[in-house]
Chains A and B, each alone.
Chain A
């Protein structure tokens, strides 16, 4: 049988996971070509923070080395950015003129950091935190300079701040919210997190609004100024105030975009030969910024590419973990809840644990855990399954082990092993990693 041509734009985690899933299903259906803008094989982007913190090396976070591409017969073009999609001729054209023909095209162009639109955001020493290059740049500055300012108290910002602190810098996190990680944690947990990070020597300014990055006269940043007139010294400013999906290529090809490339439940765009997955995508109005949903998308996308077509992606329940060693936090689902919700809370100042579970109509819809995240997987399953928890409600907070410790027959076990993929009625997170 004649092999079809599959082109993947984007050598990141979402795209390569799609290929892996596809190869598992049908190793011989496609001749595969991959274009990557970065000069690296596929690496684990979410592990950049441990690299910045000095806990891992770049080599440690490589997911698929060059042998993997070769072994699977994948033609890899590194350091080449696709500039045009010719949908009529079904070809893609890279910045160096390289062209590739496709029968199926997968867009996995990812996202980029949102650079705060303030004066000075172009100055030397102002960095968005996205890839290996950014990380290397930050490490270089950290070796020479003292003052770092991280704008954004989200997951990425805090991980960057922690890494820079460990690299010896004096770090201040500037955040516009009342508490840290307000999209992942409730106020109590956010405050606990701030206290824990302050104990590690991080400084926080919040709520605080940046009005200008100040030029040292030589085109380098030297301070951050706020709308209340105050300013603090800054040799490095890390922008971690959100991401923007990379949709320009898709738009130029005439594909519909709205804060992401619009796709259906099989991850296809308006042009059925063209798929899109990952952070560049908007599915049912949601652009996911976390890795787990991307992997779920990859599975469905691969299923469809393999011409099986029974997979459907209906959205993900997202959950969050912070990669700061020694700080365990986790949230999933609708951890803020509403008037219809009931809340179960636990706080243990001795172990530094805070947990909140959100229940709506006897179903677990959200969880926010701080200090002890050992049961997070179970909670995600319960949220996804949407099963009635009234029988195990008293045990819920204490995890599966609490249920297991019950004498048999005391409580009707509910099956939490099945991992159905359903759209939960939880409002998913939009995180920034």
Chain B
């Protein structure tokens, strides 16, 4: 007996509806919900493989506690765990005051979870030390909206993407990060070929495949670009003077500033042809409707707030806001970043789009909650919070649903902070994240498919998230854990008073929270879980009495400012902090892979999602490789002012020379050396306090690591991962991944100056099951070369190559195909990059993950003269989620260029 439960996807901020097929105990399949207005049935590679994630072996299943930093955690019951947690927090508060504790939470929590955390921190404990990972994601957009438009309210709807005549995509690899919206854009462009798409990105990403114009600007120069565009709009009389006069303030100051941003100057600063700049201005200025979409390229910057406002300026100056197909539209990175902003889950916010620094707002909320007052001391933002923890000011830290030991910049600092904090709670669904190792108390949380509540997506649409199956082990819903904790803490902090946390179900939290939105710009006090069930997901505002949500804001040109006018901000272009110099001559950018999400705690459990990219690599332009005498795939040491990392280099002509790229996903679990963020910098925007994760000065040098290790072992991947990752800590380079589809396997690549001792090797062999039985063995201890290949039922099930691993790719290919009794058997242990006579294709990149179509098959199809439709018909690639279509197009173009 199987059931289908409608819920939402737990990854990006598009907020797609999913139908979870399950038997009440296990999730069996996932399909797009055809009725959900975010996706109308579509899903991307990540969403469509949700049922393949969440390996129970990777989950936190029971509370675990340690009473000393040097000790191992042991399993405890919930009652003891929560009692201890409340006691530790209570003690810190009693001895050091409420600001000695802090909460670091997540854009992946549900609105109800957020609300409980906020009430706990601000009403019960009396601290504003509650910040969320949205600080790394959307806080610059929050500032941008608030400063320019008066409130943190993205004015657009997804349908505007389809209806716009001109779409400007800035600092967003939408094709990877928001694939379903990109599909909608793709389809609209196919239906209306006159629709113009401009992409602004230092990299030529897959998103550029759809663009009419790609402005490949120097990183961090967006403000100059926007001012330069405005300069040309003014010069070309393409601004809407009537709109400016009626609905805005500050244009003359801005115009004066923009006058300095001549095309010549902007062309130099941004490193783009003047003609392209002029084309962009003409397209924007002459389009009947103009929409901009942006993401981390603007937000993760020390000029993040300025970039946001400079972009919004273009909309205000052209009157392109508040109407169909127009407006500034930020794409949120997390499923409920919006809900976090609504509930006040950044240290400077309060529920209902209020500010913690605003006494009136504090009083309103305090009244609503029935407490005397809310704290007025400013809370710590993420970077500040961890700096405070490192300096000993935070005595107890509660982390939920996020992985700061992977995601925050300057990991060395973050690790020191986590180690220094006397008591760290980590509330997590996955027990093996980088942060979990710092938990003194690990609380197992329910996750996707197991919990109920609500989320708000990028277009202000609130969906009801529904549980399909019970949480595994003793895991509990986040709101439930928080309320339990709060009730215990109340006994110390508010003895004898009525509980503030008398909630027994998430809808009770929802119902209380929406009262705080009443009368605010986001008012959705007219909504309830039951109403969403009845009406479907709805866009706020949805005040009492509404029957339908609000598609678009500011249609009447009135903004939620004191004078109802929007503001032009006039801030000059400031370069990013770390400019290229002789010591750090390259600029490191970070960003997404197509098939991974965030720190990979969930996507990293689905082997299939490693098919597209299976290791961290440093992308450099081929010229930069040549200049440094580096070859593609070679191991290099990347150094920044804060740390260093060893990983392979990848020739990548999507970058401009002088720039470098590492995907943001690779943390210390997957890449030894604290992951990519050991390099990135904590400098942040003065207003949004969002760190400049995408602009780091680095140097790259070759490293000579003579001894290498390659392991592929099928089965028990999480257990083996957990056992083997610490063993590889002793190597200079170690990279972990999963691989395979139906038969997941663990993949390890490592290298070091010298070989480990034989005891280490014996231990490895035991852990991967090549120490005995049906195992092919080759040993040359004099050269530190050793190889093991386990064969079961004629099929390779484990490979271990040490000292020399030339044959890894074709061996892996054989494993992948599950070839039985291969005729190449006698060459398995030979040091051959390809076996004699060929016939054993090396493993290669999976371009289409849905239909499992590899790059080599597509290339062969292209060679045979197939076009996109032909490839779709013959190979099936690109026919499901469509995420691979831009890449396939790129392969087709490459073919045309070479012939």
A interface residues, Cβ below 8 angstroms from B: 342-351, 353, 359, 372, 393-395, 397-398, 401-402, 404-407
Pair B829/A397 contact, Cβ less than 8 Å: yes
Please measure, in the bound complex, the distance between the C-alpha atom of A257 and the C-alpha atom of B778, giving whole angstroms.
46
Q: Name the one of A372, A398, A404, A407 contacting B829, with C-beta atoms under 8 angstroms.
A: A398
Pair A347/B777 contact, Cβ less than 8 Å: yes
* B68, CB-defined interface residue at 8 Å: no
The interface residues of chain B lying within 8 Å CB-to-CB of A401 are: 836
Can you pick out 25 interface pairs between chain A and chain B where the beta carbons lie within 8 Å of each other?
A342-B782, A344-B779, A345-B778, A346-B777, A346-B778, A346-B829, A347-B776, A347-B777, A349-B774, A349-B776, A353-B826, A393-B783, A394-B780, A394-B783, A394-B804, A395-B831, A398-B826, A398-B830, A401-B836, A404-B836, A405-B832, A405-B834, A405-B836, A406-B832, A407-B833
Please measure, in the bound complex, the distance between the C-alpha atom of A349 and the C-alpha atom of B770, giving whole angstroms.
13
Please measure, in the bound complex, the distance between the C-alpha atom of A350 and the C-alpha atom of B827, giving whole angstroms.
13
Q: Name the one of A350, A395, A398, A404 contacting B791, with C-beta atoms under 8 angstroms.
A: A350
Q: Which B residue's beta carbon lies closest to that of A345?
A: B779
Shortest distance from the beta carbon of A321 to any chain B beta carbon, whole Å: 19
Q: Which A residue's beta carbon lies closest to that of B789?
A: A348
Shortest distance from the beta carbon of B761 to any chain A beta carbon, whole Å: 14
Please measure, in the bound complex, the distance between the C-alpha atom of A350 and the C-alpha atom of B820, giving whole angstroms.
13
Q: Name the one of B777, B779, B826, B830 contacting A351, with C-beta atoms under 8 angstroms.
A: B826
In residues 827-880 of chain B, which contact A (Cβ within 8 Å)? 827, 829-836
Q: Name the one of A344, A348, A349, A405 contacting B780, with C-beta atoms under 8 angstroms.
A: A344
* B419, CB-defined interface residue at 8 Å: no
Pair B782/A359 contact, Cβ less than 8 Å: yes
Please measure, in the bound complex, the distance between the C-alpha atom of A397 and the C-alpha atom of B804, giving whole angstroms.
14
* B895, CB-defined interface residue at 8 Å: no
Given A347-B777, A398-B826, 7 more pairs with CB closer than 8 A: A342-B781, A345-B778, A394-B783, A398-B831, A398-B832, A402-B830, A407-B833
In residues 756-808 of chain B, which contact A (Cβ within 8 Å)? 774-783, 785, 791, 804
Q: A349-B774, A349-B775, A351-B825 are in contact. Are A342 and B833 (CB under 8 A)?
A: no
The interface residues of chain B lying within 8 Å CB-to-CB of A393 are: 780, 783
Interface SS majority for chain B: mixed
A-B contact count (CB 8 A): 72
Shortest distance from the beta carbon of A358 to any chain B beta carbon, whole Å: 11
The interface residues of chain B lying within 8 Å CB-to-CB of A395 are: 830-831
Please measure, in the bound complex, the distance between the C-alpha atom of A401 and the C-alpha atom of B774, giving whole angstroms.
25
The interface residues of chain B lying within 8 Å CB-to-CB of A372 are: 826
Pair A350/B782 contact, Cβ less than 8 Å: no
Shortest distance from the beta carbon of A395 to any chain B beta carbon, whole Å: 6
Shortest distance from the beta carbon of B782 to any chain A beta carbon, whole Å: 4
Shortest distance from the beta carbon of B792 to any chain A beta carbon, whole Å: 10
Shortest distance from the beta carbon of A364 to any chain B beta carbon, whole Å: 13
The interface residues of chain A lying within 8 Å CB-to-CB of B827 are: 398, 402, 405
The interface residues of chain A lying within 8 Å CB-to-CB of B780 are: 342-344, 393-394, 397
Interface SS majority for chain A: mixed
The interface residues of chain A lying within 8 Å CB-to-CB of B777 are: 345-348
Shortest distance from the beta carbon of B167 to any chain A beta carbon, whole Å: 48
Counting chain B residues whose Cβ lies within 8 A of the other chain, the interface size class is: 20 to 34
Please measure, in the bound complex, the distance between the C-alpha atom of A350 and the C-alpha atom of B782, giving whole angstroms.
26
The 5 A-B pairs of least Cβ separation, nearest first, read: A342-B782, A398-B830, A405-B836, A394-B831, A344-B780
Q: Which B residue's beta carbon lies closest to that of A394?
A: B831
Shortest distance from the beta carbon of B535 to any chain A beta carbon, whole Å: 64
The interface residues of chain B lying within 8 Å CB-to-CB of A351 are: 825-826
Pair B779/A402 contact, Cβ less than 8 Å: no
Q: Name the one of B775, B781, B804, B830 contacting A343, with C-beta atoms under 8 angstroms.
A: B781
Q: A349-B774, A350-B791, A372-B826 are in contact. Are A402 and B781 (CB under 8 A)?
A: no
B interface residues, Cβ below 8 angstroms from A: 774-783, 785, 791, 804, 825-827, 829-836
Please measure, in the bound complex, the distance between the C-alpha atom of A404 and the C-alpha atom of B827, giving whole angstroms.
13
Shortest distance from the beta carbon of B755 to any chain A beta carbon, whole Å: 14
Q: Which B residue's beta carbon lies closest to that of A349?
A: B774
The interface residues of chain A lying within 8 Å CB-to-CB of B782 are: 342-344, 359
Shortest distance from the beta carbon of A218 to any chain B beta carbon, whole Å: 53
Please measure, in the bound complex, the distance between the C-alpha atom of A406 and the C-alpha atom of B806, giving whole angstroms.
11
Q: A343-B781, A395-B831 are in contact. Are A350 and B825 (CB under 8 A)?
A: yes
Shortest distance from the beta carbon of A357 to any chain B beta carbon, whole Å: 9
Pair B833/A402 contact, Cβ less than 8 Å: no
Shortest distance from the beta carbon of A212 to any chain B beta carbon, whole Å: 43
Please measure, in the bound complex, the distance between the C-alpha atom of A183 and the C-alpha atom of B774, giving whole angstroms.
28
Please measure, in the bound complex, the distance between the C-alpha atom of A372 and the C-alpha atom of B829, giving whole angstroms.
14
Pair A405/B835 contact, Cβ less than 8 Å: yes
Please measure, in the bound complex, the distance between the C-alpha atom of A346 and the C-alpha atom of B776, giving whole angstroms.
7
Shortest distance from the beta carbon of B90 to any chain A beta carbon, whole Å: 63
Shortest distance from the beta carbon of B419 to any chain A beta carbon, whole Å: 43
Please measure, in the bound complex, the distance between the C-alpha atom of A346 and the C-alpha atom of B775, giving whole angstroms.
11
Q: Which B residue's beta carbon lies closest to that of A342?
A: B782
Please measure, in the bound complex, the distance between the C-alpha atom of A359 and the C-alpha atom of B785, giving whole angstroms.
15
Please measure, in the bound complex, the distance between the C-alpha atom of A149 and the C-alpha atom of B540, giving whole angstroms.
97
The interface residues of chain B lying within 8 Å CB-to-CB of A398 are: 826-827, 829-832
The interface residues of chain A lying within 8 Å CB-to-CB of B833 are: 407
Shortest distance from the beta carbon of A265 to any chain B beta carbon, whole Å: 35
Pair B831/A402 contact, Cβ less than 8 Å: yes
The interface residues of chain B lying within 8 Å CB-to-CB of A347 are: 776-777
Please measure, in the bound complex, the distance between the C-alpha atom of A395 and the C-alpha atom of B774, giving whole angstroms.
23
Shortest distance from the beta carbon of A148 to any chain B beta carbon, whole Å: 35
Q: Which B residue's beta carbon lies closest to that of A355?
A: B778
Shortest distance from the beta carbon of A359 to any chain B beta carbon, whole Å: 7
Please measure, in the bound complex, the distance between the C-alpha atom of A5 and the C-alpha atom of B112, giving whole angstroms.
115
Interface-centre pick from B780, B783, B829, B834 (highest chain A CB count, 10 A)? B780
Pair B781/A397 contact, Cβ less than 8 Å: no
Please measure, in the bound complex, the distance between the C-alpha atom of A397 and the C-alpha atom of B780, giving whole angstroms.
10
Q: Which A residue's beta carbon lies closest to that of B778?
A: A346
Q: Which A residue's beta carbon lies closest to that of B830?
A: A398
Please measure, in the bound complex, the distance between the C-alpha atom of A15 and the C-alpha atom of B20, giving whole angstroms.
87
Shortest distance from the beta carbon of B841 to any chain A beta carbon, whole Å: 16
Please measure, in the bound complex, the distance between the C-alpha atom of A398 and the C-alpha atom of B791, giving whole angstroms.
19
Shortest distance from the beta carbon of A299 to any chain B beta carbon, whole Å: 35
Q: Which B residue's beta carbon lies closest to that of A354?
A: B777
Q: Name the one of B774, B783, B804, B832 contacting A402, with C-beta atoms under 8 angstroms.
A: B832
Please measure, in the bound complex, the distance between the C-alpha atom of A404 and the C-alpha atom of B776, giving whole angstroms.
23
Q: Which B residue's beta carbon lies closest to that of A350?
A: B791
Pair A348/B776 contact, Cβ less than 8 Å: yes
The interface residues of chain B lying within 8 Å CB-to-CB of A397 are: 778, 780, 829-830
Please measure, in the bound complex, the distance between the C-alpha atom of A342 and the C-alpha atom of B784, giving whole angstroms.
11
Shortest distance from the beta carbon of A352 to any chain B beta carbon, whole Å: 12
The interface residues of chain A lying within 8 Å CB-to-CB of B804 are: 394
The interface residues of chain A lying within 8 Å CB-to-CB of B783 are: 393-394
The interface residues of chain A lying within 8 Å CB-to-CB of B825 are: 348, 350-351
Shortest distance from the beta carbon of B633 to any chain A beta carbon, whole Å: 16
Please measure, in the bound complex, the distance between the C-alpha atom of A353 and the C-alpha atom of B780, giving whole angstroms.
17
Shortest distance from the beta carbon of B786 to any chain A beta carbon, whole Å: 10
The interface residues of chain A lying within 8 Å CB-to-CB of B831 are: 394-395, 398, 402
Please measure, in the bound complex, the distance between the C-alpha atom of A184 and the C-alpha atom of B834, giving whole angstroms.
34
Shortest distance from the beta carbon of A413 to any chain B beta carbon, whole Å: 15
Please measure, in the bound complex, the distance between the C-alpha atom of A350 and the C-alpha atom of B775, giving whole angstroms.
8
The interface residues of chain A lying within 8 Å CB-to-CB of B836 are: 401-402, 404-405
Please measure, in the bound complex, the distance between the C-alpha atom of A359 and the C-alpha atom of B833, giving whole angstroms.
25
The interface residues of chain B lying within 8 Å CB-to-CB of A405 are: 827, 830, 832, 834-836
Please measure, in the bound complex, the distance between the C-alpha atom of A402 and the C-alpha atom of B828, giving whole angstroms.
11
Pair A394/B826 contact, Cβ less than 8 Å: no
Shortest distance from the beta carbon of A151 to any chain B beta carbon, whole Å: 35
Please measure, in the bound complex, the distance between the C-alpha atom of A93 and the C-alpha atom of B781, giving whole angstroms.
61
The interface residues of chain A lying within 8 Å CB-to-CB of B775 are: 349
Q: Which A residue's beta carbon lies closest to that of B836?
A: A405
Shortest distance from the beta carbon of A248 to any chain B beta carbon, whole Å: 49
Shortest distance from the beta carbon of B471 to any chain A beta carbon, whole Å: 45
Please measure, in the bound complex, the distance between the C-alpha atom of A349 and the C-alpha atom of B825, giving whole angstroms.
12
Please measure, in the bound complex, the distance between the C-alpha atom of A348 and the C-alpha atom of B824, giving whole angstroms.
13
Shortest distance from the beta carbon of A335 to any chain B beta carbon, whole Å: 16
Please measure, in the bound complex, the distance between the C-alpha atom of A405 and the C-alpha atom of B827, giving whole angstroms.
11
Q: Which A residue's beta carbon lies closest to that of B825?
A: A351
